[in-house]
Amino acid sequence: MNEMQFLTWVRGPGLDIAIGIFLLGVLWRLIEIYSLGRKVDVAPGRHRDGASGLHTVFRRSVPPPGMVKRSPVTYIGGYVFHIGLAIIVFLFEPHIILIRDLTGLSWPGLPSQVIDLVSVITLGAMLVVLADRIKKPVKRYLSTFEDWFTWTLTFLPVLTGWMAVQHLLLPYTTMLALHILSVELLLIVLPFTKLFHAFTVFGSRWYLGKINGHRGVPV
Amino acid sequence: MSASLQKGINALKEVIDAPVASYLNSCVHCGLCAEACLFHLETDDPKYTPIHKLEPLRRVYEQEYTLLGRLKKMVGLSKPVTDDELEEWKELVYDSCTMCGRCSMVCPVGNDIVYMVRKLREGMAVSGHAPEGIQGAVKRTVEIGGPMGLKWPAVANVIKKAEAATGETINVDKPGVDYLVLLSSMEIVNYPEYLEALVKIFKKAGISFTLASDAFEATNAGMQIGASDLAKLIVSRIINSAEKLGVKYVLSPECGHAYMAIRWEGPNLIGRPYKFEVRHVLEVLDELRQKGVLKMKDKFKEPLILHDPCQIVRRGGVLEAPEPLVQTVAENYIPIVDKQKWNWCCGGGGGASAIHTEEAEALRAKAFRIKKRQIEENGVNTMVTFCANCRIVIEEGFDHYGMNTQLLGLTELLAEHLED
């Protein structure tokens, strides 16, 4: 298989397989989790629950009082790389074209130079949070193979994408193929690892807000 | 696998629901919950990271309720939960967790960690891995009536004294009154002034109340240990008595977890809402304050800070009543930085104060340093609170560190300064 054949495969059957596993995986995992249901709370609520679940979905995006000071790297590094990833994935022109081809939806992107800068910042932030995971006793204590593995799988697409655009190390075609392959690995693994928090975070915050809102505590 | 372990794992399987599954799948091991846990902050030991305390629950979830986990279990790749492990976890689930719920306030993905600790305790209790101290309290509550083994004569004695001090007659087992008043054992033994205070205030407000000889104990060790069947048995005494007497309200005393047990867990334990309403004493007092009934003849002069008990405020939702009540009676109330739903636990809630091993007591003393600092940083010699268990734990902390800080109960403080 030469590099052109490699690229053709990852763009064609490879991508189909990865997206297929991703979509089925996400669907399966969502059903597996949320079909467990929960008992109705028969204690009369303090107020009507209202939108306490939805409030918490938004409120938890903001750090609680005093917490940034206690763990600045987690918060700042976390914000930077999450926002960075979102910008790169959804606002880089070639990605928008891909999404348009797959779904028919499209929107304006950002100039390539801006995405370059965002990529470098995102890679930097990810390295910083990795260093923090190695250095901080609590994070190191909690970390399992999955934490290192998923970090790597998230880092590689950004790194290879940036290197492809910059024409670094390997010929563009090869690097682009590696980039797409790394994204495919990420897609396949996402539903079955902690990366699935990208989906469950909304449900978790909603339950938390609902359960505590019932007792009259905005969380 | 021992029969008791099997029971424990079955209990865990039973309590796992969609919120638990969602939470366990959302955790990214960021470790921020450790920054909200007083046991971690005061020891720097990573094993006290709240989410880590749930490891046995997480594995049962993974092995029983996920496809990949079941496959791993089938081919022998997963690590089963064992008796030895649960025994090791006893310290993490009871000694070093007061179910204060502060971790649930900070988790960025929105995991209600304390919700899961409560559930893990179901498995711990059934499999026989709860601390002896709490087991004893449960046994005494089920067999005798209260965690300290008190019987009605002790309560009758407190009633007699309160009658003598106030010159009022206190109803016992009287149907048709407004309130059924409950006490916690700690109040009966250590803070009998609470009942006197209540008599004074309720007389002024024209509220009728009774005590019940078959349901005076408000606390629920069954809930603390995590045994829902026993918790139900204990709370049912109150429900049956209140519904038999036909009272409009049941008054939950200052005690924190009692409120949690009666107000929020009770209806779910018996599977239906009550025929009466449960109110925490501070909710009632604040209502009286707003109506203008709670007038003070003078104010407490010394500067003081407030300790908000976790189960009443952060977890129970009595958020707005405490501060205005303190301001009513205290001239120099100093609001602390982490107050109301952000307050730090006394270190002995959730049954922890009933654990009397050397290690647990030493750990509690360490955790108390967070309260000690709050007192010192604000330069006060007085702290006021409204939970009998917090009071015991805080007073033990004062003794341990040789502090000459005075601790006051809010209801009594109000009664003391009440206009005649």
Q: Which domains does chain B have, with CATH numbers?
A: 3-128 (1.10.1060), 135-288 (3.40.50.1860), 295-416 (3.40.50)
Contacts of B236 (CB under 8 A, 6+ apart): B269, B270
Burial letters A22-40, b for 16+ CB under 10 A, else e: beebbeebbebbbebeeee
Give me the mean pLDDT over the B279-284 stretch.
Answer: 97
pLDDT of residue A148 exceeding 90, the answer is yes
Angle at A90 between CA A88 and CA A92, to 5 degrees: 55
Instruction: Check CB contact under 8 Å for A142 and B35.
Output: no
In the prediction, which pLDDT does B8 show? 97
A140 neighbourhood in chain B, CB within 8 Å: 46
Chain A partners of B314 at a C-beta cutoff of 8 Å?
217
Q: Is A179 on the interface with B (CB under 8 A)?
A: no
Q: Does A193 touch chain B (CB under 8 A)?
A: no
Question: Given this model, what pLDDT does residue B74 score?
Answer: 96
CB-nearest to B317 from A28, A56, A216 is A216
Continuous segment of H or E residues that includes residue B407: strand B406-409
Whether residues A196 and B25 touch (CB distance < 8 A) is answered with yes
DSSP character for B263?
A: I
Q: What is the pLDDT of residues A14-62, one digit of tens each?
A: 999 999 999 999 999 999 999 999 999 999 999 887 899 999 999 999 9
What's the confidence (pLDDT) of residue B234?
97
pLDDT at B129: 98
DSSP string, A140-197: HHH--HHHHHHHHHHHHHHHHHHHHHHT-SS-HHHHHHHHHHHHHHHHHHGGGSGGGH
Q: Is the Cβ pair B30, A78 closer than 8 Å?
A: yes
Answer yes or no: is the ipTM higher than 0.90: yes
- Name every chain A residue with its beta carbon within 8 A of the beta carbon of B31: 71, 74, 136, 138-139, 142
Percent of chain B topping pLDDT 90: 97
* Contact at CB, A142 and B29, closer than 8 angstroms: yes
Pick from A28, A42, A70: CB nearest B271: A42
Confidence of residue B297 (pLDDT cuts 50, 70, 90): very high
Closest by CA position to B104, among listed B345, B358, B402: B345
The answer to whether the CB atoms of A33 and B271 lie below 8 A apart is no
Residues 30-59 on A with a CB inside 8 Å of B are: 32-39, 41-44, 46, 56-57
- Do B26 and A204 lie within an 8 Å CB cutoff? yes
Is A60 close to B110, i.e. CB distance below 8 A?
yes
pLDDT at A114 over 90: yes
CA distance B329 to chain A (A): 26
Amino acid B187: pLDDT: 87
Instruction: Say yes or no: A72 contacts chain B, CB-CB below 8 A.
Output: no
Does A33 contact B18 at a Cβ distance shorter than 8 Å? Answer: yes
pLDDT at A93 over 90: yes
Specify which residues B385 forms β-bridges with.
Answer: B307, B409
- Closest B-chain CA to A79: B108
Pick from A126, A60, A88: nearest CA to B33: A60
CA angle B399, B130, B392 (to 5 degrees): 20
Q: At what angle do helices B55-65 and B18-26 cross, to 10 degrees?
A: 110
CB contact under 8 A, A196 and B272: no
C-alpha to C-alpha distance for B145 and B154, rounded to whole angstroms: 12
Its pTM stands at 0.96
Helices (H), B167-252: 185-189, 193-205, 221-225, 228-245
Q: How far is CA A91 from CA A85, A156, A166, A172, A212, in A?
A: 10, 19, 18, 21, 37
Q: How much is the pLDDT for B291?
A: 95
Candidates A65, A144, A197; nearest CB to B26: A197
Give dist(CA B29, CA B418) in Å, integer: 51
pLDDT of the residue at B125: 98
Specify the amino acid at residue B119.
Answer: K
Instruction: Provide the pLDDT confidence category of residue B191 given band limits of 50, 70 and 90.
Output: confident
Block residue for tokens 């604000």: B378
Mean pLDDT score, B62-85? 96
Query: How does pLDDT run across B20-65, given as a tens digit for each residue?
Result: 999 999 999 999 999 999 999 999 999 999 999 999 999 999 999 9
DSSP state letters, A103-126: HS-----B-HHHHHHHHHHHHHHH
B49 and A141 within 8 Å at the Cβ level: the answer is yes
Instruction: Give the CA count within 13 Å in the CB-facing half-sphere of A207.
Output: 28
pLDDT at A48 (0 to 100): 82
CB contact, 8 Å: A25 with chain B? no
**Residue B296 forms beta bridges with which residues?**
B418
Q: What is the pLDDT of residue A1?
A: 80
**Chain B contacts of A74, Cβ < 8 Å?**
30-32
Q: Is there a contact between B341 and B313 (Cβ–Cβ < 8 Å)?
A: yes
Pairing of strands B171-172, B209-211: parallel
Q: How many Å lie between the alpha carbon of B38 and the closest alpha carbon of chain A?
A: 13
Q: Which of B22, B315, B337 sits opposite A207 (nearest CB)?
A: B22
Which phi and psi (to 5°) does residue B307 adopt?
A: -105, 115
* Phi-psi label, residue B31: left if phi above 0, alpha if psi -120 to 50, beta otherwise: left
Tracing tokens 């994204």 back to the chain, one arrives at A183
Q: How far is A136 from chain B (nearest CA, A)?
A: 9
* Banded pLDDT at B190 (limits 50, 70, 90): confident
Comparing alpha-carbon positions, the chain A residue that sits nearest to B262 is A43
Contacts of A64 in chain B (CB under 8 A): 105-106, 342
Share the mean pLDDT of chain B: 96
Given a cut of 80, whether residue A198 has pLDDT beyond it is: yes
Radius of gyration from C-alpha coordinates of chain A: 20
> What are the C-alpha distances in Å from B16 to residues B22, B78, B232, B268, B396?
10, 19, 19, 16, 37
Chains A & B: contacts with CB separation below 8 Å: 161
Q: Is the dihedral of CA B142, B148, B149, B153 positive or negative?
A: negative
Q: Is A152 on the interface with B (CB under 8 A)?
A: no
Q: What is the pLDDT of residue B155?
A: 95
* Chain B: residue whose CA lies nearest to A25: B67
Which phi-psi region, left, alpha or beta, contains residue B350 (left: φ > 0; alpha: ψ -120 to 50)?
A: left
Buried-exposed string B267-278: b where 16+ CB fall within 10 A, e elsewhere: bbbeeeebebeb
| Out of A143-157, B182-196, B269-283, least confident range | B182-196
pLDDT value for B186: 86
Q: In terms of CA atoms, which chain A residue is nearest residue B272?
A: A42
Over residues A180-200, mean pLDDT: 98
List helix spans (H) across B82-151: 83-90, 102-106, 113-126, 132-143
Q: Find out whether B11 and B126 touch, Cβ atoms under 8 Å.
A: yes
